[in-house]
Amino acid sequence: MDTRQWMSILLCFATALMLFVSFLSYRKRHLQVARTMIYMMITASCYSLGYAFELVSGSLSGIKLSLQIEYLGIPFVSAFWLLLVFQFTGLGVQYRKWLSILVFCIPIATFLLHVTNDWHHLIYEAYIPNPNETIPLFITVKGPWYAVHAIYNYTILLLGILLFIPMYLRALPIIRKQIIVLILGAGAPMLFNIAYMFSKVIDLTPFGFAISGLVYAWGIFRFRLLRLTPLAYAKMFDTIRDGVILLDYEDQIVNYNHAAEEVFPELGQADSVPALGKDVLSACPDLLDRISDADYKDNRFPLQRFLHNRQCYFVCSLTYIYDTGNIPIGKMLMFNDITELKENEERLREKSERLLRLNTFKDKLFTVMAHDIRDPIALLVSLTELLGEEPADSDIASAEVFQEIRRQVRGTFHLVDNLLDWYRSQNGEVAFRPISWNLQQVVRQALSLAGARAGMKNIQIVEHIDERFTVNADKEMLDLIFRNLLSNAIKYTDIGGDIKLSASMADNQVTVSISDNGSGIDEETAELLRHDDMFFKEPGFASKEDGGDMRFGLVLTREFLRMHGGSLRFESLSGQGTTFLFTLPGTAGSEGIKEREGAVVRANESYTH
């Protein structure tokens, strides 16, 4: 096998390699840079494949046909490479269309002139047989346009390299490696072509493209050449909210973003980059000490700076950048602005202190209410009860006023009592200790206390509670539940009315029913009990006329039942009465029933069992 055949096989291998790079680029075709790489490698493979055919061609016609294949790629390879540089560096984005047209003017003209070369001979003036019958078989005499195109190619390659230089100086390490890969891929064919221009023997430029294919494949696999373009890296670098400063192994600042310049305005005042960190950041000696620390450990630390007429707070992180080995090649300093977080924290601290003071005031308020308000009201209730027993027929008007005073005093007393119970439950002063109680005994004890009020209105109370029912409840809360529900029933039941108490058992739940034939629940109270809201929804909730104290007591009853795992519901018809039903955990056996201290006092003569 002679030299021409060996060279032809190598060129076919180079063609396959460049097509492989095109395939790798096609997988990332959603990126504009990858699409340009595809076109560049395809045109280079046309050049290489055509030159392989030229080497094995034995006639002038075969060589001319091979040159036609070569010129599908020769004019365009450099143009696509410059277009790739534009896309990689982000240069002239708004003028990209017009730049592309301008770059491809000469390549298109070169292609058309070669197709019609036999008419004007501007590319090749003549084809002279090689007298030595070695490579090449025909020596071409170059025309004037060949020189134009050669100058154009070298100009484009040099322009692309010059465009890469400023980007390289400010780029991240990974981007710098990608730039080097692209320059090496373009430089190899150029060096081979320069050698051919001086030797005028064998054009080895297509072999340079084989090296380009190897370099680009290496860059794709090793340095993620086509995964994310440096333009995207640069945009991300400049637009992130955290400040970033990149330093090399000599602690020189090589790059920074806009957010870092806001933290350190001195960065924008530096004459050039790279710049020594100790010169630019001289106002922060503590920061310089941490940067110059040689422990090679990532670090986080706070930083304060007075900026924009206020104190600003930052959390800084110093991260070492390593190459493939274990030796650091640079450092990355990041600044996370936590000024707003600090200010919010300070505001929350002030609000917390204010709430603490208000809570202390609330505790004092309820202490005063418990000792200085409740006791006098309780005394007034007792006095009005005593006075109410005396006949008042001598002055009917005064008697009505007195009855209203007594009603208001009693209501206020119940309201204060309920408020204190609620406060103690919310403040953790009421211990929740549920134990087994005989339901009938608890009910009769509650009726003995409510019987006097019922007797004053000649209300008949009937109780039907199975003596075997027991409930698991806290005694103090259970007494309050019955006291509030019975007070509500007595208050809204007319003279001579009826109140009935009953209980039933199902699934270890005792359901107690307290029903009356009074006026029914008003709509405002019913709406309040249907919602899960706790207490005060508007000013004066507990002091409204016509039942503010009872509303509060019913809501408190509902909350205590929830603490027991039970519930409160009601059925009411206006003018026909109300039935309250509540559930408590319990049993229906005689076991566990405990006799409690004190005898169960029956209600007065108005209470009927």
**Fold topology of 3-230:** Rhopdopsin 7-helix transmembrane proteins (1.20.1070)
pLDDT at 607: 39
Q: 405 pLDDT band (50/70/90 cuts)?
A: low
H helices present in 71-116, as ranges: 77-89, 96-103, 105-115
Q: Give me the residue label for tokens 């933290």.
A: 263
Pairing state of beta strands 577-587 and 509-516?
Answer: antiparallel
pTM, rounded to two decimals: 0.46
Pair 62, 92: CB distance under 8 Å:
no
Q: Is the pLDDT of residue 440 over 70?
A: yes
Domain coordinates of the chain in residue numbers?
3-230, 240-337, 431-608
pLDDT at 513: 94
Average pLDDT over residues 164-176: 73
Q: Is the pLDDT of residue 408 over 90?
A: no
pLDDT at 502: 93
Separation of alpha carbons 248 and 173, rounded Å: 10
167 contact partners, CB below 8 Å, separation of at least 6 = 88, 89, 175, 179, 230
pLDDT at 503: 93
Q: Among 373, 399, 43, which Cα is nearest to 189's?
A: 43
Which of 308 and 459 is assigned the larger pLDDT? 459
Which of 485 and 165 is assigned the larger pLDDT? 485
3-state per-residue secondary structure call for 268-333: HHCCCCCEEHHHHCCCCHHHHHHHHCCCCCCEEEEEEEEECCEEEEEEEEEEEEECCCCCEEEEEE
pLDDT at 541: 44
Question: What percent of the chain is predicted at pLDDT more than 70?
Answer: 73
Q: For 177-235, how does the pLDDT look when each residue is reduced to its tens digit (9 = 90+)?
A: 777 887 888 777 778 777 777 766 667 777 777 787 788 778 777 766 765 555 556 66
Burial 491-508, CB ≥16 within 10 A → b, else e? bbbeeebbbbbbbebeee
431-608: CATH number: 3.30.565.10
| Fold equal for 3-230 and 240-337 | no
Average pLDDT over residues 483-506: 89
Q: For 564-608, how does the pLDDT look when each residue is reduced to its tens digit (9 = 90+)?
A: 888 888 888 888 899 999 999 988 764 444 433 333 333 333 333
**Fold topology of 240-337:** Beta-Lactamase (3.30.450)
Q: For 57-81, how does the pLDDT look when each residue is reduced to its tens digit (9 = 90+)?
A: 878 888 889 889 989 988 998 888 8
Q: Is the pLDDT of residue 532 over 60?
A: yes
Question: What percent of the chain is predicted at pLDDT more than 90?
Answer: 10
